[in-house]
Amino acid sequence: MSKLVQDQLEANIPKAWTPTFQSTVIKASNAEIWDKDGNRFLDYVGGYAVLNTGHVHPKVIAKVKTQLDNFTHSCFAYAPHQNAIDLCTEVNKRYPIDTETKTFLVNSGAEAVENAIKIARYYSGKQHIVAFKGGFHGRTYMAMGLTGKENPYKKGFGPFPDFISHTDYPYEYRGITDDQALENFISHIKNVGTDNIAAVLIEIQLGEGGYIPASEYFLAELKKIAHENNILLIFDEVQTGFGRTGEMFGSNKVGVTPDIATLAKGIAGGFPLAAVVGRSKIMDSIHDAGIGSTFGASPVSCAAALGVLEVFDEENILENVKNHSEIMTKNLLNLQTEKDFIGDVRGYGTMIGVEIVENKKIKNPSKDIAMQIIEHSKDNGLLLVNCGLEGNVIRFMGPLTTPITQVQEAMEIFTKSVNAI
């Protein structure tokens, strides 16, 4: 990064918001980005799992340009527009809740989570929310309270709402089996008191918490226990939505349907948008004007989202995910057998996490080795970031539209970087 840009950052940007990438991006296309010095990178950060359909996909951009020629904003609560109506209709058709649904559009994943909780508490007449250790649900205040990862997201910002509690997420590699996590959940809700629990909120696969997938068995049993106790089930699909797991939504992948789901990130191809979709009876329970958003149903972002759906409908994206996943999994599992510091390889579809440890026998997390691999990868043209409670999991978030040759290139760079340790 040039001294001029560095000086500008230091003078104008809060230190806590300092970018990781030590350059400025000037151009991008699908899975590739270029910095101001002309260096080319394969982007497996993808705007933090946003660019499922790649950078500047032509179909998405065409929809946006058409909308820009007409108008850029209309607060939907006053003056509706067709893009939002069409998008809500499509989400209701596609999201696999087994009764009629309705959809509410907002700006971000955190805002979607906030509204999902707000709606669940209103509908149920109950207050308490159970979330999971390791979960990430956003940076607004209630979303931070729901998040189960203390550092850096919650550290120093408390206290948080006292109607939130956390229980164990299943983590086989660290000794928390599905059955143990279910036993802990049952014990937890009994201790809290089921009469005052409105909902349980869970990611189908942890994002920031370490790319840990929950099994179909665990989620089906969780739903059964929740419903037996008159507790709503909310899926946070901000990261698992729009193809990343190998199905359109994580719910499709695991064959378990929630009462409410939150969607964001990949929904609009890089434009800010999010959604809450839920059973019509639940969504319609709110009094007039009890939910709303000035920018939430942005006509431009909704146009982009309709373009994303067009890409999925016309370009066989889910088959891409299958092919990408096969290449990535084969390469990563081979590396796991060769390297004592690769403890686990896991995840649905291309949402793959590689857990780095000091060695396989004692399994002590090693953020240091993980960051060395990430730095070597960047030096060789592959962008990656870490996650996990100890920061020792390397995650892959590349576009689902990445050409096979570039998937193979990414694996070659990663292998080279691992071998450099």
Query: Per-residue pLDDT tens for 191-249?
Result: 999 999 999 999 999 999 999 999 999 999 999 999 999 999 999 999 999 999 999 99
In this structure, the answer to whether residues 364 and 296 fall within a common structural domain is: no
What is the predicted pLDDT for the residue at 1?
63
Spans in the chain with pLDDT lower than 50? none
In this structure, the answer to whether residues 273 and 291 fall within a common structural domain is: yes
In this structure, the answer to whether residues 112 and 207 fall within a common structural domain is: yes
Assign 3 to helix, strand or coil.
helix
In this structure, the answer to whether residues 375 and 261 fall within a common structural domain is: no
In this structure, the answer to whether residues 106 and 86 fall within a common structural domain is: yes
The answer to whether 135 touches 236, Cβ cutoff 8 Å, is: yes
Q: Which of 314, 349, 384 is the last residue of a domain?
A: 314
What is the predicted pLDDT for the residue at 63?
98
Q: Please tell me the pTM assigned to this model.
A: 0.97
In this structure, the answer to whether residues 11 and 151 fall within a common structural domain is: no
In this structure, the answer to whether residues 154 and 242 fall within a common structural domain is: yes
* Tokens linked to 258: 């929630």
Q: Which of 152, 61, 161, 62 is nearest to 114 (CA)?
A: 161
pLDDT, tens only, 7-38: 888 899 898 988 888 889 999 999 999 999 99
In this structure, the answer to whether residues 398 and 321 fall within a common structural domain is: yes
In this structure, the answer to whether residues 286 and 382 fall within a common structural domain is: no
Looking at the structure of the chain, the number of domains it has is 2
The CATH number of whichever domain residue 275 belongs to comes to 3.40.640.10
The boundaries of the domain holding residue 306 are 61-314
Q: Which of 314, 337, 367 is the last residue of a domain?
A: 314
Q: Which of 285, 314, 343 is the last residue of a domain?
A: 314
- Range list of β-strands (E), 110-241: 128-132, 164-167, 197-203, 232-236
Q: Residue 113 and residue 199: Cα distance in Å, rounded?
A: 12
The CATH number of whichever domain residue 33 belongs to comes to 3.90.1150.10
In this structure, the answer to whether residues 192 and 86 fall within a common structural domain is: yes
In this structure, the answer to whether residues 76 and 169 fall within a common structural domain is: yes
